[in-house]
Amino acid sequence: MTETTRIPRNNILRESLLNWYEFRKDADLAEIGDGGSGLTDLFRRTCRSVTLLEPGEEEAQAASRKYDYVVVPDQLEYEPDPAAAVRKWLSLLRPEGILLICADNRFGLKYFCGAAEKHTGLPFCGVNGYFGGITLPEEEQLPEADGRSFSRREIEAVLRAAGAGNSRFYYPVPDRRMPQMIFTDAYTDGTNISERLIDYNYEDRSMTGIEHRILPEAAEGGALPFLANDFLIEITRGGVLSDIDYALVTTDRGENGMAVTIRSGGSVIKRPLRKKGEDAVRNLAALTEELRSRGVPAAECTAEEDGQGLFLKMPRIRGESLTKILDRLVREDPAHFLRIFDRIYGYIRQSSSPLPGGGCRVFTDLAPCNCFWLGTDEDGTDRLLFYDQEFVTDDGSPEFAMFRTIKYYFASSPAARSRMSAEELFDRYGISKEDLPRFEEKEAVFISSIRHTGDFGWLYEAARPHYASMLANMKKLRKEPAKPYRTGYVPGVFDLFHTGHLRLIERCKERCDYLIVGVLTDELAEYYKGRKPVISCENRMAVIRGLRAVDRVIPVGFDITDKLRAWDALHYDCHFSGDDHIGHWNDVLAELRKRGSNMEFFSYTEGISSTSIRNEINTES
């Protein structure tokens, strides 16, 4: 598949597919594939042993060794018998082992947005079931595919046929190559998608939709089982499936990257992705306590340790995302909307403290994306609860922190942008136009430090969809005035192709949606004209095939030179011809009309013909 975004093969962001999954450290893991998944180093850091198996080696390995985990990142789509392949992979497991398989969804949202299908390169090919059971003209067959993608329903059928046992589906967002969030059927809150997703493009040349604008509602509407770009399937016959309902991963933060997981049991775990990240866990716990001591409502959390290492634990809060509340209020109650922002600014000032040597200690992440709304008190006061307050600076100001809060809320909220401007709020909190360049520069330095833009700059650049290209594609699909015919047919010799031929074909296309051009074979042309064409049939067809107005080109031999035989083969709605044949084919026209077809005649372009060109060439020679 050709992509606008070139993702490095060794890109560490691929690890986000499974770096949130809690593999046992004493486990033996087998990975099926060529070792190019980008996950092997992750497995080596987290499991006791890792074995790479080429496809086809499974049966021999199963006879000699069993594993706690078998991971198949890319292979299912290329298996001729998927159910048999799943049975092979299950045979590698110990009784309580876990099989993890990835698969591309042929109904993935990216495909409905116009991305080229993974295995054929044709947009909408998988969505249309690879045209299974449909007879296509010989010259319009699908390109040879190297595999095929599956819908969730098809994968479930494969698992049943394989006798797979218990299974659970996960939905990596935006996809399995660079996931940033992992959803399940038990978790459908799409707020984080609009607030945190770094999207990237697949193929601007064919795209007509912007995924990150659709994904939040798709998640909240329970549509990810159908529309997720990829599936991650966890399978076991005798083991216990994970209790993780949702994961948010920040692999792009390097040594300080975290995996936040929401558990079925009602807790939230924040675990460092690397050993060095444990300092960030301790720091987050300390900062939370500092905020609470200053009277800022922050979710209680504790640093704990288990067999996986140090982690932060907090209760799962059942409140609503403050972002959602603000999106509703900005439309329905702007005054209440502003009161909440006033309250946030009050907490920012309350948590800030001047430093003896100058400067100000400021918490910079007191923002809607890190806050729950827990309702209102009897006096109408909004009850807010902040979480994930891991960023603080000793070189800031309350105005800088409020600038960040406003900037990122408006960046993720089309509802707010449609009702007011961020500049209105900047002015409300004393952030002047003169402050903005300085704050933007300070913010760029901060973001670069935490997101490692030197390593992932290509991703942030790719996160800007080419909207002009998408709009151009949408205009191409715009409904034009209906043409009289769906399928038109015009036969001809088209020797020494000239402007008269071109004008005829263009006029035919103006009258139909789909134009078939028949090119007379050399033998048939000689039979009618009394001389062989100058240009061979093969080359004449190549010229016609290159015209934008032409949808299909066929050779016309003695077998379909008859108009009715041609209709039997092509089922055209109108036969086009030059006006020198008016009246000659009245009987044929009558028969065509009985079949729901018609004939139309166009005048020839004066002053030019293949004969005149041939005569001119002969004269000059």
Question: Is the pLDDT higher at 480 or at 499?
Answer: 499
Average pLDDT over residues 355-360: 86
CA atoms within 13 A on the CB side of 7: 22
User: Which pLDDT does position 619 carry in this prediction?
Assistant: 61
Instruction: Give me the DSSP letters along 13-29.
Output: GGGGGTTTS---TT-EE
Question: Is the pLDDT higher at 603 or at 72?
Answer: 72
The contacts of residue 141 (CB under 8 Å, 6+ apart) are none
Mean pLDDT: which of 62-66, 139-143, 169-173 is highest?
169-173
Amino acid sitting at position 32: I
- Burial of residue 388 (CB within 10 Å: 0-12, 13-18, 19+) is buried
pLDDT in tens, 491-541: 999 998 999 899 999 999 999 999 999 999 999 999 988 888 999 999 999
User: Which pLDDT does position 600 carry in this prediction?
Assistant: 94
Query: What phi, psi does 574 have (nearest 5°)?
Result: -155, 135
Q: No. of H helices and E strands in the chain? A: 23, 23
d(CA 24, CA 42): 13
User: Which pLDDT does position 528 carry in this prediction?
Assistant: 87
Cα distances from 70 to residues 87, 281, 351, in angstroms, run 12, 30, 48
Task: Flag whether pLDDT at 621 surpasses 60.
Answer: no
pLDDT in tens, 262-281: 999 889 999 999 888 899 89
Task: Flag whether pLDDT at 101 surpasses 70.
Answer: yes
CATH architecture of 250-316: 2-Layer Sandwich (3.30)
User: Which pLDDT does position 204 carry in this prediction?
Assistant: 59
Task: Flag whether pLDDT at 482 surpasses 90.
Answer: no
Task: Flag whether pLDDT at 129 surpasses 50.
Answer: yes
The answer to whether the beta carbons of residues 100 and 232 sit under 8 Å apart is yes
Q: How far is CA 588 from the centre of its chain?
A: 52
Question: Is the pLDDT higher at 619 or at 465?
Answer: 465
Task: Flag whether pLDDT at 102 surpasses 60.
Answer: yes
Average pLDDT over residues 80-104: 96
Q: Which residue has the tokens 């198996």?
A: 53
pLDDT in tens, 567-578: 999 999 999 998
Average pLDDT over residues 292-312: 93
pLDDT-derived band of residue 4, with 50, 70 and 90 as boundaries? very low
Task: Flag whether pLDDT at 620 surpasses 80.
Answer: no
Question: Per-domain residue ranges for the chain?
Answer: 1-245+445-478, 250-316, 321-431, 485-620
State the DSSP code for 374.
Answer: E
Q: What global pTM score does this model have?
A: 0.80
pLDDT in tens, 540-588: 999 999 999 999 999 999 988 899 999 999 999 999 998 877 878 899 9
Task: Flag whether pLDDT at 13 surpasses 90.
Answer: no
Average pLDDT over residues 1-21: 69
User: Which pLDDT does position 318 carry in this prediction?
Assistant: 85
User: Which pLDDT does position 3 carry in this prediction?
Assistant: 40
Query: Which percentage of the chain shows pLDDT scores above 90?
Result: 67
Same fold? 250-316, 485-620: no
pLDDT-derived band of residue 8, with 50, 70 and 90 as boundaries? low
Question: Is the pLDDT higher at 207 or at 462?
Answer: 207
CATH superfamily of 485-620: HUPs (3.40.50.620)
pLDDT-derived band of residue 5, with 50, 70 and 90 as boundaries? very low
Average pLDDT over residues 460-470: 73
Q: How far is CA 253 from the centre of its chain?
A: 23
Q: In what order do the strands lie in the sheet with 49-53?
A: 49-53, 28-32, 67-72, 93-104, 230-236, 166-173, 181-184, 244-249, 258-263, 267-272, 309-315, 302-306
Cα distances from 504 to residues 58, 437, 579, 603, in angstroms, run 62, 60, 11, 8
Average pLDDT of the chain to the nearest whole number: 89
pLDDT in tens, 327-350: 999 999 999 999 999 999 999 999
Q: Does domain 1-245+445-478 have CATH number 3.40.80.10?
A: no
